[in-house]
Amino acid sequence: MNEKTTYRASTTAPVNIAVIKYWGKRDARLNLPTNSSLSVTLSQSDLRTHTTASCSPSYSAPDTLLLNAQPQPLSDARSQACLTALRSLRTDLEKSNSSLPPLSTYPLRLCSANNFPTAAGLASSAAGFAALVRSIADLYQLPHSPTQLSLIARQGSGSACRSLLGGYVAWDQGLLLDGSDSLARLVAPRSHWPEMRALILVASAEKKGVSSTAGMQTTVQTSTLFQTRATQIVPKAMQAMEKAVAEKDFEAFAKITMRESNSFHATCLDTDPPIFYLNDVSRAAIKGVESVNEKTGRIVAGYTFDAGPNCVIYYLEENKDMVAGPFKDVLGAKEGWEGVQGKSVEGKEGVLEGKVVETLKEGVSRVILTSVGEGPISVEDHLIDEKGEPVP
C-alpha cells in the first residue's frame, strides 16, 4: 500500500421540501420523530449539496470538514454519530475481506458546497448530511441501500434521511426504542409524477432566529396543540397524502399541503414563547396563492413553509403560466427567472394586486424554479485534489 494514496468519492444530494412536516422528537439523541412525514425531493439542477469524502494514511487526525470553504466542527454528537456508524460498517467489510485497505482507520477530509443559502429555511442540513453519508458510503464502498443508509443520515439531521431517495419520500416515525424502524421509504419515484413543479420565493437568506432543533423541542415541551397534531392530525394527513400521490390528484395534494403547513406553524405559534418563522412577505405569498386559485376557479397551486419565511409553491407543469405567471409579472426583475424553466413562464397581469404586490416586491430577494428530482448522484467532480487539498 502506498502511504501517500488518497481515496476519494464525491456525491451531490438534493434538498427535500416536506408536505407533511416533521416537528418534534421522541428521542433527541437518536433523532426519532414524534410523527411521520412526507416530502418531495427537488431537482439537483437547482438545489444541491456537493460533497467530496477523502481519506489517506498520510492525513493527520482529526477528521475535518470544509463547508463553502469555511472550516466546520465535526465534534458535535450528530456528526460523530454518522461518522462512527459509517466507520463501523466499513470495519465489518474489512474484517470479512483482509485484502481491503483499512480505510476505516484513516482520518477523513470532507469538503462540501451548497448552491443555495445555508440555514435559511431551504433544508440545507438535510441535503448536507445526505451528501455526507452518501459520499462516505461510496468512499467505503458500502453495499447498503439508501433506506439502510437513511438510518445513519437521520442521526445527523432528521429530514436528511428523506434526501437519500428521489421522488416522493416518507420518513416513517417507527415505534422501536432503538430507532431501527424509523427510516426513509419510497412512496413513488420521480417517474411516477414527473410533472410536479415548485416555485420558491426566497424571503430571507439570513440564518434563522430559532433553529429547527431548538424550536421543535420547545414546542414538544410547551405547546397544547402539539399532541393533537402528532397523534391525530398527521397520521390522517399522511394517509391522505400517500393516496393523493398514488392517484396523482393535485387538488388533494395541494389542499393537504397547505393545511398541513398551517397546522405546523400553528403549533409554532402555540409554543411558549411563540416561534415566528413566517413574516409579512410569507403572508403576502399565501395571499398570492389564494388569489391564483380563486381567479383560476380551481386549486392549481399549493403553498408550504418549512422552519423559515421562504414560500414553496407546488404546481403542475401544465399550469405554470397560471401559477408562476402572476408571480413573474410582479417579481420578473428578481434573480432566478433566467433559467430554462423561468424563461418558459409567461407573465400574467392583474392576478396579484395591492398590498400583496408591494410586499412581495420589497421582501422577495430572488426566486428558484425547480421540479421533483432524483436522489443522490455519484460524480467525478472532486472538491479535494489527489494531494488531499481543497480544489480552488
Residue 227 phi, psi (nearest 5): -60, -40
**Which residue type is seen at 371?**
S
CA dist., res. 257 & res. 59, Å (int): 47
pLDDT at 110: 98
A 10 A CB-CB count for 241 gives 23
Confirm if 83 and 128 have CB atoms less than 8 A apart. Answer: no
Per-residue pLDDT reduced to its tens digit, 302-339: 999 998 899 999 999 999 999 999 999 999 999 999 99
Residues in the chain predicted with pLDDT less than 70, given as ranges, are 1-2, 117-123, 204-209
99-143 pLDDT per residue, tens: 999 999 999 999 999 987 654 556 688 999 999 999 999 999 999
- Alpha-carbon span 31 to 9, nearest angstrom: 27
What does the buried/exposed string (b/e) look like for 201-231 if buried means 16 or more CB atoms within 10 Å of the residue's CB?
A: bbbbbeebebebbebbbbbbeebebbeebbe
Task: Provide the pLDDT for residue 209.
Answer: 67
Bridge partner residues of 379 (DSSP):
10
Q: Are 111 and 104 in contact (CB under 8 A)?
A: no
Cα separation of 299 and 249, whole Å?
Answer: 11
CA 264 to chain centre: 17
Q: What angle do CA 364, 210, 279 make, to 5 degrees?
A: 30
Cβ-in-10-Å burial (0-12, 13-18, 19+) of 361 comes to middle
> What does the pLDDT read at residue 84?
98
For residue 117, the model assigns a pLDDT of: 62
Its pTM stands at 0.94
CA 84 to chain CA centroid, Å, is: 23
Q: Which three cell numbers stand for residue 300?
A: 392549481
**Per-residue buried b or exposed e for 110-137, using 16+ beta carbons within 10 Å of the residue's own CB:** bbbbbebbbbbbbbbbbbbbbbbbbbbb
- The C-alpha atoms of residue 8 and residue 103 are separated, in whole angstroms, by 11
Name the β-bridge partners of 251.
Answer: none
Distance in angstroms (rounded) separating the CA atoms of residues 311 and 360: 11
- In this structure, the dihedral spanned by the alpha carbons of residues 194, 196, 197 and 200, taken in order and rounded to 10 degrees, is -130
Determine the straight-line distance between the first and last CA of the chain, rounded to whole angstroms.
29
